[in-house]
């Protein structure tokens, strides 16, 4: 392998294509892209080397970091996901990354490592439906309490923090309403409280950055401790495979690896490979194009007579436009308001709103070419869905309204098609309802 190259003088966009110039994880020097690996178990050569492998696993030291790992068994570690993890940490500006089978495995992984029976988690009250279900259905069974709060209200957050609180968890932009939480402000409040606490009692901030992708927002730079992503979404980008990742301080890496070893939830190398070879290298290209298109669609919808409101952080009418400009920026520092929007239709009542939203989605499902009715997001194809009855159906309908969700609210995840084609499909759909 060639000498370590100084990659710092290259832009992040180029670094996303190449990753680390020199990885200790695997010697594939004569392949231009890392080959796909497919081996559940590894030859250990001698009992001594096998034993050494088990000693070194999840035992990060300066020494183990700078030598090739002894590969033992896929669930512990293997080249494709090990290299992907290095590149994901790089993309997010974090020290270390641990991959998981999907976003939910990553979320339960980091919460599993940071909490135990008797602890308390505070989360923003609006979030992805399965995360809501994890927090409200499963953690109480483990004697972990969960407080769902409006984290826009920092005074309320301050007074809700208990001695047992270990995690503050949220998404920004929030799924599906696209409202933002002020990552820097929450981090500075938590930093103050942590100054009075021992290391074991520290509160950690975990941000689900799936909506923004690291191209648009890097919460670690803003003071968060951990970032989680569903790699199934914007980072994977092509919608072919599921994956998840936790990115954060090196000192937690070993615990995350041990957790993943024992609870399972391992990312398959066959799912890690497309993220490594297609997803990350095209991230900036895709997201740049998607942002431009999202902006055009948001402007079109905002002026449409049948549309009540459009929530997109890139619109000057967005209530938190200033905050958006402060915390959503790309690697070059330019405003990067993301690739998703949430909009509502004019209606006479909540039921009418829901009926109209469903009618629009159904006519698009029947007639559109450049928009697909499907959950998921961050895809090359534009996807439309109704969060109230789909991705967020785990949240009871009355609570959805309390949490800022409109009964007829529609989520649009913009793909890489040309803007005019998507707008044409929306225009025709709106004309039919
Ligand atoms: C999809 C999604 C998840 C869950 O990810 P999976 O890969 O489907 O497990 C978590 N958070 C957000 C914001 C998501 O959109």
What are the tens digits of pLDDT across the range 32-59? 888 999 999 999 999 999 999 999 999 9
Ligand 1 atom with minimal separation from the 107 CA: 10
Per-residue pLDDT reduced to its tens digit, 95-133: 999 999 999 999 999 999 999 999 999 999 999 999 999
Measure 103 CA to ligand 1 centroid, in angstroms. 5
Measure 213 CA to ligand 1 centroid, in angstroms. 12
User: Which of 60, 94, 58, 91 lies closest to 75, judged by CA?
Assistant: 58
Distance CA 323, CA 277 (A): 34
Tokens of 110: 């980091």
Measure 211 CA to ligand 1 centroid, in angstroms. 9
Tally the residues of the chain. Answer: 433
Measure 232 CA to ligand 1 centroid, in angstroms. 7
In this prediction, residue 1 carries a pLDDT of 41
In this prediction, residue 344 carries a pLDDT of 94
Sign of torsion over alpha carbons 420, 426, 428, 431: negative
Q: Is 87 in the pocket of ligand 1 (CB under 6 A)?
A: no
Pocket perturbation via mutation, ligand 1, pick of 230, 375, 379 by most ligand atoms within 8 A of CB: 230
Which residue is listed with tokens 């005019």?
420
The proportion of the chain whose per-residue pLDDT surpasses 90, expressed as a percent, equals 84
Q: Report the DSSP beta bridge partners of residue 122.
A: 147, 168
In this prediction, residue 411 carries a pLDDT of 96
Pocket perturbation via mutation, ligand 1, pick of 129, 210, 211, 379 by most ligand atoms within 8 A of CB: 210
- Class (C level, CATH) for 282-431: alpha beta
Question: 161-183: string of b/e by CB count within 10 Å (b at 16+)?
Answer: beeebbbbbbbbbbbbbbbbbbb
- What confidence category does residue 225 fall into, taking pLDDT thresholds of 50, 70 and 90? very high
Question: Structural domain boundaries of the chain?
Answer: 12-279, 282-431
Per-residue pLDDT reduced to its tens digit, 293-318: 999 999 999 999 999 999 999 999 99
CA distances from 223 to 198, 316, 333, 368 (A): 19, 26, 17, 42
Distance CA 289, CA 105 (A): 30
Q: Is 230 in the pocket of ligand 1 (CB under 6 A)?
A: yes
Ligand 1 atom with minimal separation from the 232 CA: 7
Question: Does 360 score more than 50 pLDDT?
Answer: yes
Q: Is 104 in the pocket of ligand 1 (CB under 6 A)?
A: yes
Quote the mean pLDDT of the chain. Answer: 94
- Class (C level, CATH) for 12-279: alpha beta
In this prediction, residue 4 carries a pLDDT of 60
The model carries a pTM of: 0.95
């Amino acid at each position: 392998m060639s000498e370590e190259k100084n990659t710092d003088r290259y832009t992040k966009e180029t670094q996303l294509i190449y990753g680390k110039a020199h990885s200790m994880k695997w010697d594939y020097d004569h392949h231009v892209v890392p080959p796909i690996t497919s081996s559940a178990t590894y030859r250990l050569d001698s009992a001594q080397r096998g034993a050494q492998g088990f000693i070194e696993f999840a035992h990060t030291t300066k020494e183990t970091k700078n030598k090739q790992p002894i590969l033992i068994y896929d669930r512990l570690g293997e080249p494709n996901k090990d290299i992907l993890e290095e590149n994901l940490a790089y993309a997010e500006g974090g020290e270390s990354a641990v991959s998981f089978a999907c976003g939910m495995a990553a979320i339960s992984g980091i919460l599993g490592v940071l909490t135990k029976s008797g602890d308390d988690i505070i989360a923003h009250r609006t979030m992805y439906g399965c995360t809501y279900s994890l927090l409200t259905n499963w953690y109480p069974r483990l004697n972990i309490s969960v407080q769902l709060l409006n984290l826009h209200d920092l005074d309320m957050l301050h007074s809700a923090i208990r001695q047992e609180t270990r995690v503050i968890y949220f998404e920004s932009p929030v799924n599906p309403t696209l409202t933002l939480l002020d990552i820097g402000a929450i981090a500075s409040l938590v930093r103050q409280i942590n100054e009075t606490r021992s290391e074991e009692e520290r509160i950690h901030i975990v941000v689900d950055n799936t909506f923004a992708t690291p191209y648009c927002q890097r919460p670690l730079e803003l003071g968060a401790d951990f970032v989680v992503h569903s790699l199934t979404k914007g980072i994977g980008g092509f919608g072919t495979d599921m994956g998840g990742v936790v990115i954060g301080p090196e000192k937690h890496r070993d615990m995350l690896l041990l957790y993943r070893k024992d609870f399972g939830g391992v990312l398959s190398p066959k799912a890690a490979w497309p993220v490594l070879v297609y997803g990350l290298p095209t991230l900036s290209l895709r997201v740049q194009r998607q942002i431009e298109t999202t902006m055009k669609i948001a402007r079109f919808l905002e002026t449409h007579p049948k549309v009540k409101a459009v929530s997109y952080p890139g619109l000057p009418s967005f209530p938190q436009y200033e905050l958006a400009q402060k915390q959503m920026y790309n690697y070059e520092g330019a405003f990067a308001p993301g690739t998703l929007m949430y909009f509502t239709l004019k209606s006479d009542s909540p039921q009418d709103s829901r009926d109209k939203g469903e009618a629009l989605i159904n006519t698009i499902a029947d007639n559109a070419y450049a928009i697909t009715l499907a959950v998921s997001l961050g895809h090359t194809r534009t996807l439309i869905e109704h969060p109230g009855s789909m991705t967020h159906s785990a949240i009871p309908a009355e609570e959805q309204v309390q949490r800022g969700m409109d009964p007829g609210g529609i989520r649009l995840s913009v793909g890489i098609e040309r803007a005019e084609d998507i707008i044409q499909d929306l225009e025709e759909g709106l004309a039919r309802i």
